[in-house]
Structure 1
Amino acid sequence: MAEKSSQATDAAAKQRIITHMNNDHQDSLIRYLKYYIQLSSFSARNAYLVDISFNDLTILSSKGTSHAIPVKPAMTSWSEARTRVVAMDGDAVIGLGASNITVKKYKPPRGWMTAVFVTCALTYLCFCRRANFEPGSVFYDTLLRNVPSFAKFCRVIQPWLFWFMVVAHVGEASWMAKSRLEKHTVRMFSRVWWMWVLSCFVEGLGSSMRFDECVEEEKAKKEGMKH
């Protein structure tokens, strides 16, 4: 009876660890796959812990491939699990040149950033085609009919302005994804990831500034939990 009770206790402890890691620390699981198995952010994005033993962690990649990551030195009891997984994550953070601060939310524009976002969005909309600045279009007939010279100017610069914005903002969004989202383990192609990337594509610099604010807020929360 005592042996069965011990086995049940071990099984329950093991399941609690698996559930906790999957629900609250997927960012660590992603880093494990990237650092210890050297998977890409794409392949590691849906990391899922399926098993844990005193000797290793078994994690599924986004492709459904199972990867065993050794726990060194091996644990002797489940009470050591928290210390070991934290230490492993610390090594992964350093090895990847990443941050132990994970951003899990999107912060929308506010104040002057809202004005910039709306202005950029309207510019994309208006300058997406030359026909918008020609008679017969809703935009021309509604807003530009009385200023034909300005409409002609906009028609001339339309392809230059539109493609300049697209190229510049694609570059900014790519840099945002690499320098911030990947560094702070925002899961690739998740809802939050798309919101930051698309926001950066529309407005540019403002989204990077708000992301940095989120990082500082998370740092403050982590520091507060230590006291």
Structure 2
Amino acid sequence: MADQAGKNAAAQQRIVSHMQKDHHDSIVRYLEHYSKVSAWTAQSGVLTSVDLNGMNLTASGKAHRIPFDPPLKSYSEARERVVSMDQDCLRGLGRSDITIDEFIWPTGRYGVEFAVILGIFAAYSQRWWFASGGIVERSLGAGLARFSYRIQPWLFGGLLVIHAAELAYFVPARLRKHSVNPKTGLFWLWCAAQAVAGVGCSKRFDAMVEKKRVAKGKQQH
């Protein structure tokens, strides 16, 4: 009996360590789906222990119990069960099975697009720069200054509206769908990139998702 208890304790510790190290995104989803915890709170989730009847987790100091239904017959069933439960979470939360856990800086043509759009935002952020006698008129001529003065409110305002709308779509359709949590710096890096680059950022994100999907498909074969 003592020997079996020791084996069970070792199995429990392996499960907890493995989930914490390699599958924290699953722990977050368990809390969101089964315990109805917000994504922000769930990000702090910790799997504290597991037994044949369920898992014990904490998030922001609050304890949560998620039962196994039906209970496990042995700990050898744990891996299959937690994977199955995560699949239930993905379906229930409307998430993809591809988790994005990194940010890739724009390079190549995406880098050029990012720099150009950021430059336009910066250049047209202040209308007084284009006023008569201002820095643009003195540096680049009166014609460009007058033209830019007229279009500045429309150009800058239009860019803000369009990019804000794109960001509002990007967050649920891509970040939330691929389990990028709003409590992480990764989430805000992607938001900043999307706010500047718009469609170009969405294309980079989609390319990363596809790359991970292909890699996952190869691992399964």
Specify if TM > 0.5.
yes
1:12 Cα deviation from its structure 2 partner: 2.3
TM score, norm. by length of structure 1 = 0.89
Aligned to 2:101: 104
Q: Distance in 1 between the 2:134 and 2:146 partners?
A: 14
CA 1:165 to 1:189, structure 2 compared with 1: closer, same or farther past 3 Å? farther
Q: Distance in 1 between the 2:64 and 2:162 partners?
A: 39
Q: Distance in 2 between the 1:34 and 1:75 partners?
A: 22
Q: 1:178 aligns with which of 172, 178, 187?
A: 172
Is residue 221 from structure 1 mapped to residue 218 from structure 2 by the alignment? no
Is residue 113 from structure 1 mapped to residue 88 from structure 2 by the alignment? no
Give 1:64's aligned amino acid: G
Q: 1:60 aligns with which of 48, 58, 63?
A: 58
Q: Distance in 1 between the 2:77 and 2:183 partners?
A: 33
- Mind listing any 5+ residue stretches in structure 1 that lack a counterpart? none
RMSD (Å), alpha carbons: 1.8
Q: Distance in 1 between the 2:183 and 2:115 partners?
A: 24
Q: Distance in 2 between the 1:76 and 1:119 partners?
A: 60
Aligned to 1:21: 19
1:163 Cα deviation from its structure 2 partner: 2.2
Q: Tell me, what secondary structure is at the counterpart of 2:66?
A: strand
Is residue 155 from structure 1 mapped to residue 149 from structure 2 by the alignment? yes
Q: Tell me, what secondary structure is at the counterpart of 1:95?
A: helix
- Mind listing any 5+ residue stretches in structure 2 that lack a counterpart? none
- CA displacement, residues 85-110 of structure 1 (integer Å, 9 cap, x when unaligned): 00101111112221111111112223
Q: How does 1:182-201 map to 2 (within 5 A)?
A: 182-201=176-195
- CA displacement, residues 130-168 of structure 1 (integer Å, 9 cap, x when unaligned): 23224454xx37xx6242121122122222222221222
Q: Tell me, what secondary structure is at the counterpart of 1:145?
A: helix
The number of aligned residues is: 220
1:111 Cα deviation from its structure 2 partner: 2.5
Task: Give the share of equivalent positions with the same residue, in percent.
Answer: 35
1:225 Cα deviation from its structure 2 partner: 1.0
TM score, norm. by length of structure 2 = 0.91
Check conservation: 1:41, 1:182, Cα contact below 8 A. Answer: no
